[in-house]
Structure 1
Amino acid sequence: MKKVERKILLNPGPATTTVSVKNAMVVEDICPREEKFGALIEGIKNDLVKVIHGEGEYVAALFAASGTGGLEAAITSAVPKGKKLLVVENGAYGTRMIKLAQTFDIDVVKYQLEYGDYPSLDAIESLLKENDDVSHLAVVHHETTTGMLNPIQEICYLSHKYGVEVIVDCMSSYAGIPINAKKWQAEYIVSSSNNCIQGMAGLAFVIFKVDLLSKLSEQKRSFYFNIYNQYVGFEKTGQLQFTPPVQVCHALRQAIDEYLEEGEEGRWNRYKDNWELLVEGLQDLGLSFLLPYGQQSKILLAIMEPKHPNYNFDAMHDYLYEKGFTIYPGKGAKSATFRLSVLGDLYRKDIEDFLVALKGYLTSIA
C-alpha cells in the first residue's frame, strides 16, 4: 500500500480522513448490481438514519453527488408546484439554496440577513403569517460561512405551527454535532459523505420521514435527483438507479463504523476540545472572532483578519500549506475573515502544531 502523507485540513470540508478510510477504497472490482453491493448500500442507508436517532420514523435516499446534489433532491422533490419555499439566508449556503430553488422556478420567500447575523424567530413568524402559500422552510444548521449554529429546534417548532415542512442543510454538522431527528421533527435532513462523518467526497444523502412518500410520489421536477424514485427503486430492486461511486461507498461504510465506535459523545467531545484549544490559542495570538461565543458551532471559526499592513491571506495560506496545514478564506461575511474548522480526524497535537505554525507566520510579518 502506498504511504500517503497526512495533511491537516482546517477547511470546512472535505475533512482529514483516517488511513483506514483511505484504505477501504482499495477493494476488488464489483458490479454495483450485485446483491453483495446492494447489501452494503442497505447497511449504509440504515446506519445513516441511526446516526441521528431516526430509526422507525426516517429513511434515507443516497445519491452520487456532492452535498448540493442532496439539497437539490430535497428542494425539488419536496416543494409542490404552486407553493413557495421560505429560506433563512444568513450565509452563503442559504443563498445557494435560494439559487437552487430559483433555477427550478420555485418561488422563494427570502429571510435575508447579513452573513453573520443571528435569525429572529419573530421575523420568521411574520413571514410565515404573511405568506400562507409557503409549504416548506429551508435553513442551514451549521452555516460554515461564519461558524454560526442556527436555532433549528425552535425553527422547526415554529414552522410546524403554521403547517410548514422543514428542510435542514446539515452538511457540516451531521455526525459532528449531536442531532436527534425525532426531537427536531424536521421533514428532511441533508448531508454528505465527506465532512463530520469523515468519509470521502462523492455521496449525498437525504434523510426524510417515511410517511412523506405518498407526497413525494407526485413530484416530477427532476429525473436524477428524485427522492421517491431513488428510494422506492432501491427498495424494489436492491440497486441504486444510477451507477454509484463504488469505492467511495466502501469508504463511507468504514467511516460510519469508525463513527459508531467513537460514539456520538466521543466525536462531539473531541471536536469541542479541539475547538476550545484553537480558540484559546488564537486569542493568545491576538486574534478575535466574528461571532459571539453563544452563537458558535464549536466546529468552525470565522476569524477577523489581522489589521497589520503586511498581512495577506494568500501569503498566509501558502506559508501554512507548505507546513502541511490547509486554511480557508472568508465567504462574504459582514466583516473580513478567514476560517478554520476542526472537523475530521484531528486531535490535540494537530491543533497545537498548527498554532505554532500560525505564530510563525504572524511573527514573520510583524
Structure 2
Amino acid sequence: MTDDQEPLVNGTAARPDKRLFTPGPLNTRPEVRRAMLRDLGSRDTAFVDTVRRIRRGLLQLAGVSDDQFTAIPVQGSGTYAIEAVLQTVSPREGAKMLVLCNGAYGRRMEQICRTAGIACETFNQSEEQALSPAAAAPLLAAGPLSAVAMVHCETSSGVLNPVAELGRLVRQLQPGAAFIVDSMSAFGAVPLDLEAAGVDYLVSSANKCIEGVPGFGFVIARLERLKQTKGNSRSLSLDLFDQWAGLERSGQFRFTPPTHALLAFDCALQGLLSAGGVAAQASRYRANNVIVKRGLRRLGFRPLVRDGDDCYIITSFLCPTHANFSFTELYRRLSALDQVIYPGKVTDADCFRIGNIGDLHEPDMHRLVDCVETVLRDMQVPIPVTYGDPQ
C-alpha cells in the first residue's frame, strides 16, 4: 500500500474520516496515524529517546529554557494532568486554592480541589465574557494563597482569557502562590510568553492544537516551583513530582505509558515545529475561524461571545428560536454529510460549538458552511435564521 492509498478494512477500502469540527479528539494527518503502526516496549531505547525528544520539543514550542522549565507527560486525558498539578502543588496542610472561573473547565478545577480535600475559593464570572483582572483583584488581595488557577481558552464557550494580565496581578498580589494555567485548547496555537505572564504550570493535552491522538496530557512546569512539591500529592499515580523525578532518573514513565499515542504525538510535534510552530498553527486556525464566522453570520447565526473576548480555536453560536430548528436534527443531518459539530456546554444559553483545529483547512470550512445551509433548507428553517427578538 502506498501513502496515497486508503487502508483496507476487511478487504475493502475504508471510508474516509468524517470532518471533526470539535475541540478534540480531532482530525489527524495520515503520517501521525501511521506513526502508531509500530510496537515499542516502554523501556526500549528508541522509545525512551522518543519521550526525551517530546519533552525537549514541548519546551521549544513553549519558548522556554530547560534550566528554568521542564515538560512532564502524564497518562490519561488532559483532566488527569490538571488533577496531577492541583494535587501536587497543594501542601497537605494549609493549602488554599483560588480558581478564576468563567466556564465548565474552571468549575472542573474547583470540583477536583473539593474532591481531593483542597481548600478552594472560586471567583465566578459570566461564561460569555473574558475574566476581568480588575474584578478578580479583591479576591487575589484578600489573603495568602498557595495557588491560583485559571483556564486560557474556555473550550465550553470559546472565550479567551487574559492570562498575561492576570499572571502579572498574581505576581504582584500573591508572590508566593503558584500560577496554574489550563491551556488545554490553546497551547500550540495561541501565543503566550510564560515568563512574562509568570506561569508556573501550564497544562495541555496531546489531542488538541498539536494534533496528536488521545492518551496523555502534559505539564510544562517551572523547576523552582516543582522542586518544592515533593510529598504533597494525595495520589500515587497523579504525583507530578514523582513522575518528573522518574523521567529525570531513567527517562521512563513510572507506570505503563501510552506508547502508540506518544509515537503519534512525536510525529505531530516535530511536524509542527518544522512547519513554523505556534505562529503557523495560529495563522491556519484564524483563517478557518474567519470563514466559519463569516459564513454562519451570513446565514443569520449569532456568536455567543462578543468580538474581542473570543478565540479562533472554537466558536459558540446561539441556536435560532424558529419552531423547525432542533440542534439534535442539525447534528444528525450534518453527521450524515460527514460534518461533525459539538453541542453547547454553557449553562445559561442554548448554543452549539464549531471548532477550527485539527487537520482542517479552508476548503473544509467552506464545505461545512455550505452543509449547514443545505440542512437548514431541508429542515425548512428560514434563512437568515431568527431569534425572536430585536437584533
- Partner of residue 51, structure 1: 61
- Partner of residue 293, structure 1: 307
Q: Secondary structure at the match of 1:294?
A: coil
Counterpart-to-counterpart distance in 1, 2:57 and 2:185: 18
Q: Secondary structure at the match of 1:270?
A: helix
One-letter amino acid matched to 1:149: L
- Partner of residue 313, structure 1: 327
Counterpart-to-counterpart distance in 1, 2:284 and 2:129: 27
1:194 and 2:204 equivalent?
no
Match of 1:137 among 136, 141, 148: 148
The answer to whether the Cα contact below 8 Å between 1:274 and 1:348 also exists between their aligned partners in 2 is: yes
- Partner of residue 170, structure 1: 183
The answer to whether the Cα contact below 8 Å between 2:189 and 2:279 also exists between their aligned partners in 1 is: no
Q: More deviation in 149-158 or 1-10?
A: 1-10
Match of 1:97 among 109, 114, 120: 109
Match of 1:12 among 3, 8, 23: 23
In the superposition, the TM-score normalised over structure 2's length comes to 0.91
- Partner of residue 81, structure 2: 70
The answer to whether the Cα contact below 8 Å between 1:91 and 1:145 also exists between their aligned partners in 2 is: yes
Q: Deviations over 1:283-316 (max 9, x none)?
A: 1111111111100111111101011111111110
Q: More deviation in 269-278 or 5-14?
A: 5-14
Structure 1 segment 153-168 matched on structure 2, within 5 A: 153-161=164-172, 162-163=174-175, 164-168=177-181
The answer to whether the Cα contact below 8 Å between 2:344 and 2:351 also exists between their aligned partners in 1 is: yes
Q: Secondary structure at the match of 1:145?
A: coil
Structure 1 segment 1-366 matched on structure 2, within 5 A: 1-2=7-8, 3=14, 5-27=16-38, 29-56=39-66, 57-81=68-92, 82-130=94-142, 132-161=143-172, 162-163=174-175, 164-263=177-276, 264-364=278-378, 365-366=380-381
Q: Number of residues paired by the alignment?
A: 364
The answer to whether the Cα contact below 8 Å between 1:83 and 1:133 also exists between their aligned partners in 2 is: no
In the superposition, the TM-score normalised over structure 1's length comes to 0.97
Q: Deviations over 1:58-82 (max 9, x none)?
A: 1011111100000001100012231
Counterpart-to-counterpart distance in 1, 2:231 and 2:280: 41
One-letter amino acid matched to 2:358: G
Counterpart-to-counterpart distance in 2, 1:246 and 1:115: 37
Over alpha carbons, which structure has the higher Rg?
2
- Partner of residue 389, structure 2: none
The answer to whether the Cα contact below 8 Å between 1:89 and 1:139 also exists between their aligned partners in 2 is: yes
Counterpart-to-counterpart distance in 1, 2:192 and 2:144: 29
The answer to whether the Cα contact below 8 Å between 2:26 and 2:211 also exists between their aligned partners in 1 is: yes
Counterpart-to-counterpart distance in 2, 1:254 and 1:6: 20
Structure 2 stretches lacking a partner, 5+ long: 1-6, 9-13, 382-391
The answer to whether the Cα contact below 8 Å between 1:191 and 1:205 also exists between their aligned partners in 2 is: yes
The answer to whether the Cα contact below 8 Å between 2:157 and 2:346 also exists between their aligned partners in 1 is: no
